[in-house]
Structure 1
């Protein structure tokens, strides 16, 4: 059965989500502040798809599929009528989102799952405007939504487990990966992103390095690993004892900012030093470690070749 999806807010983020859903086979209705804006955004999405096909970023028949499957609804109410899944992607202002969510709930089927693409606002606070809040959660795509593969799934305390499972299934149909996280300020993606940015600005303000050199170090050293491994897997391969020593060194000048995490100390007390001991944040069997290291090395070499092939980004 073809899924019916409504995207409320058809700008850059909402429009990209609409493209993703349409390419996955859903019938997608988009709506915006006015029907005229919605129509213009639909045309933009078709033109974008044409360019993405020409650049080899979308499949060859993407324009036809998007043109056939994305329709412009005259109103929000018309968009959500009969929908299975609704994604709210309006501006990051709680009063606007509350108003839109109330309109969605008044017109949508009571069984429709409602997701919000918010990147900063508490899901629980948004849920105050939702009838049947067990069907509501955060479904946070990243910019640019057609091409970034990860999606944050953020239930609030009242979200049903069935809603979480179904929202993950809908996202997986698009070929993307999901990570389910708690409803805390900043969720996970932005807490990590802004923690890195904050430390980078500290280094810049202290005159330690230029913005260009900081960016160079991030993308060519630890950032180079991040397409393949998250921070816990990287720590395990480096050795948790090494991390512990580095924390102690950092504490000489930054005792509070770089206090050793308790979870790291606890693992070391248990004799878990990462892959070298067969246990850490990730449990990699000892017999798999040579295969892991060989895979890692191949991945890094292939990424280097890809970057050489692409050339530098056109930023200057």
Structure 2
């Protein structure tokens, strides 16, 4: 990425973390905010954070020097984006603020510059109405804390070019992140799932079934324990899709609409595609690889248990 230049507009914790990652991948970054003073102050904060991350063994030993050399606070948004190949907008999650910022960015940027938005939930097509040259615009959604969460959603809208998505993906992957290409929809994937879980967890507490602490314990130590290694479809395939169908039927005795059996699940079961035990399911893992998959799963869970023992409990109270 040595020939690439970037700008990050919005120098708070999300924008700052993104700037750190870009710099550590070798990309020069101009950092902008509402004023030059805010950008400069947050630049100093990024360096101080990097010092602490180095001390904690989270960043490479030369991270402070690399970030200082490659991240430059800009006098204005226009100055920051003028020569950039890739621009990431990371301002507050208010559509009017994002519209105003994206308009400034796209008017000042080169016509061929690719522009990403770090929006968490706002549809990219709705943001694109403020962008000059919307075909070079897409969602590039990092998660907090940006330096340490590996997944990034890439969200093109209806007229985003394939070239823009490819360039954004190459920039993101150069930082060591893993990307997923997502269709443009409110909440995308991450927050649609995250808020669905939070809604159900809140219901359980409000019904008096469990305390917030006990819900968190169950999530951490059961299905949440699997999630660093397997997504929901892999977990379902390993459990057995027929088992999932039976569980849906049980849940429907109280919540027939809320836990209606997904059509895709019913279709798989009707076709005899029951997951890894049948050699076909959502992910079509061949039956002959089931033993290998189970062995990996068991090693992963034991390794996770050891890691959690080493880290100790989080300081939540």
- 1:48 maps to which residue? 49
Q: TM-score, normalised by structure 2?
A: 0.99
- 2:173 maps to which residue? 172
- 2:69 maps to which residue? 68
When the two chains are superposed, the root-mean-square deviation of aligned CA atoms in Å is: 0.6
- 2:305 maps to which residue? 304
Aligned pairs, number: 316
Q: Are 2:199 and 1:206 equivalent residues in the alignment?
A: no
Give distance in 2, aligned partners of 1:157 and 1:184: 11
Contact 1:27 1:70 in 2 (8 A): yes
- 1:91 maps to which residue? 92
Q: CA deviation at 1:105?
A: 1.2
Give distance in 2, aligned partners of 1:286 and 1:239: 13
Contact 1:236 1:274 in 2 (8 A): yes
Per-residue CA deviation, residues 118-144 of structure 1 (Å, 9 max, x unaligned), is 001111011001111110000000000
Mean Cα deviation higher: 136-145 or 278-287: 278-287
Give distance in 1, aligned partners of 2:12 and 2:73: 13
Q: CA deviation at 1:284?
A: 1.0
Give distance in 2, aligned partners of 1:271 and 1:165: 38
Contact 1:140 1:152 in 2 (8 A): yes
Structure 1: which 5+ runs fail to align?
Answer: none
Give distance in 1, aligned partners of 2:229 and 2:141: 21
- 1:18 maps to which residue? 19
**Matched position secondary structure for 1:277:** coil
Q: CA deviation at 1:169?
A: 1.1
Q: TM-score, normalised by structure 1?
A: 0.99
Q: CA deviation at 1:2?
A: 2.4
Structure 1 runs (4+) deviating above 2 angstroms are: none
Give distance in 1, aligned partners of 2:169 and 2:256: 41
Per-residue CA deviation, residues 47-86 of structure 1 (Å, 9 max, x unaligned), is 0000000000001110110010000000101100110000
**Matched position secondary structure for 1:56:** coil
